[in-house]
Amino acid sequence: MKRLILMLALSIGASIALADSNPATYNTKTGRLDIPNVIVDGGPINYSVAFEKADAPATSVHINAFRLLPESVALAEDPSAPEWLFVHTAATAELVSTTTLIVPFQQDVFAFTDRPYRQHEYLNATQFVALWADAGSDSFQAVPPNAVMTWAEDGVVKEAEVELLDAKLVGDGKSIQYTMNTLTSRYPQPIGSQLTTMSMFFDGMSPSLSCSDGNSGSNTGLCHMNEIKDYGYLWQLGLSEPLLADESCVPTSFTNSMVYLQTEYEAEFEGRMLVEEGYSGWTLAAETLRSEPFMDTQPKGGTQALGEIMGILGYLNLKGATPFTELYAMALPVLVENVTDLPDWVHASPPTLEKIYTKLVEGAVVVLGITYGKVQPGILPKTGHAFAAVGVDWVDRNHDGVVDRSEHATIAVVDPLDPSENYGSSPPIATGPTKKTLVRVWEDESGDLVYSYPQYHGDAADPFDANNFLTAKGQIGSFVSINVKRD
């Protein structure tokens, strides 16, 4: 009843708004009428509503009749879902055409939530454009965001409302190219000119971008984030032997994880070094891990399950860390069914987001194994990848204990294909700081944990190419965690 009353009030308010020249937009193709500001009963709340063209009475050709689109009325029925807003600023930008805007990426995009959450996050260029790569129901690809674009001209701040249909990295990853539609502006746009003091203020979406530690349990969600700066940023493609480097994701991810473990638990290891200090020490660790006595990583075939299991055991023993550490693993049964004498800490069962979260909360480092494409029953996947998990962020909005795709859960990782914010080119080397990549995860119709994220597709021994990203999709196949034993 309350909703019906509100709709009636909005209908009346919209009619008044039209009569009072309140700005409205009518799409002649779709017959949709959008009214951005309707104040009901003199109250302080503005509503944005939409109507669709209805058949006018046959007795008159002068009447434009509209009916309210109920789905356009946004009521605050789910206060548990924060909405994120974004700001992209630059000293200059180039308006190439009416539909193309190129904005240098001079500082991270600032993201923040509406009240009462008051959260904030900084997104690098890759993370921000990835919001358009996802096909979720609430993604920027599915529902392109609106933005207010402002710029300064002759001492006057001018603005335009635009719809951002797409965004991609250009200019060696130093700029974002937006594809847009201009919705409204009272100023002519300076096509072919540079805009100065340019800002873009994006409207909201509701994925989980960041979280505060402390949430637990499947009825509320899972939320934990380690310090990204404490992980290594070793780049697998900068290792020796390019063909082997292409396959060195597992040893590289264990190395980047052990950098964190060593930083956090220096006293517990009583002076023992899991990984020698500095980038050269990290390189030595990864190349030791991938060698034949340990993981036995191959140029064709990568690191197999047995190699990963026995390799990390052997390496921890080499470093004298076995008495101080404990391991735990989960893997799809098809990945380990041929492993004889499987250690009791390896569990042949599908990995779950809750278990990954639990291990991170317990203080462990976690190395995730993913498959490219969905694993078919009884068929061993031929290709995959691995990365170091840093955090989990999931809000269970409908409280059903299922990681729904629409809930935009993420696992933050250090991807060995793109672990650093900066790179050197001669020789190819990551120079830091450590980069956080967000991997979208959800449970599919079979209940399996699947993923999607923008993955780097450059080759070993080549300089880093910030334009070379493609969407990777598949299944979370396994994880191995290492923790420090506690008395």
Q: For the purposes of burial, counting CB atoms within 10 Å of the CB of 121, is it exposed (0-12), middle (13-18) or buried (19 or more)? A: middle
User: What does R_g of the chain's alpha carbons equal in angstroms?
Assistant: 26
Residue pair 164/145 in contact by the 8 Å Cβ criterion: yes
Domain at 221-484, CATH homologous superfamily: Cysteine proteinases (3.90.70.10)
Helices of type H across 196-319: 242-245, 249-264, 278-289, 305-318
Q: For the purposes of burial, counting CB atoms within 10 Å of the CB of 187, is it exposed (0-12), middle (13-18) or buried (19 or more)? A: exposed
Show Cβ contacts of residue 412 under 8 Å, excluding neighbours closer than 6 positions: 225, 228, 389, 390, 391, 392, 393, 436, 437, 438, 439
The phi, psi pair for 319, rounded to 5°, reads: -85, 5
pTM: 0.61
Q: What angle do CA 199, 204, 207 make, to 5 degrees?
A: 120
CA-CA distance, 134 to 120, in Å (whole number)? Answer: 21
Show Cβ contacts of residue 31 under 8 Å, excluding neighbours closer than 6 positions: 52, 53
The phi, psi pair for 465, rounded to 5°, reads: -115, 105
Show Cβ contacts of residue 90 under 8 Å, excluding neighbours closer than 6 positions: 103, 104, 105, 106, 198, 199
The phi, psi pair for 394, rounded to 5°, reads: -145, 125
CATH architecture of 84-205: Beta Barrel (2.40)
Domains of the chain by residue range: 2-72, 84-205, 221-484
CA-wise closest residue to 343 among 304, 387, 313, 378: 313
pLDDT tens across the length of the chain (487 residues): 334 334 434 444 444 444 444 455 555 545 555 555 544 334 333 444 454 444 444 433 333 444 444 444 433 334 445 688 999 999 999 999 989 999 999 888 888 887 766 777 788 887 788 788 765 556 787 788 999 999 999 889 999 999 999 998 888 778 999 999 988 888 988 898 899 999 999 987 665 454 543 333 333 678 888 999 999 999 999 999 999 999 999 999 999 999 999 999 988 998 899 999 999 999 999 999 999 999 999 998 899 999 999 999 999 999 999 999 999 999 999 999 888 888 999 999 999 999 999 999 899 999 999 999 999 887 888 899 999 999 999 988 788 889 999 888 999 999 999 999 999 877 788 999 999 999 999 999 999 999 999 999 988 778 888 889 999 999 999 999 999 987 6
Show Cβ contacts of residue 171 under 8 Å, excluding neighbours closer than 6 positions: 102, 104
CA-CA distance, 230 to 432, in Å (whole number)? Answer: 11
Q: What is the DSSP letter of 467?
A: T
Q: Is the fold of 84-205 the same as that of 221-484?
A: no
For residue 221, CA distances in Å to 63, 360, 381, 400, 404 come to 51, 15, 30, 10, 11
Q: What is the DSSP letter of 12?
A: H
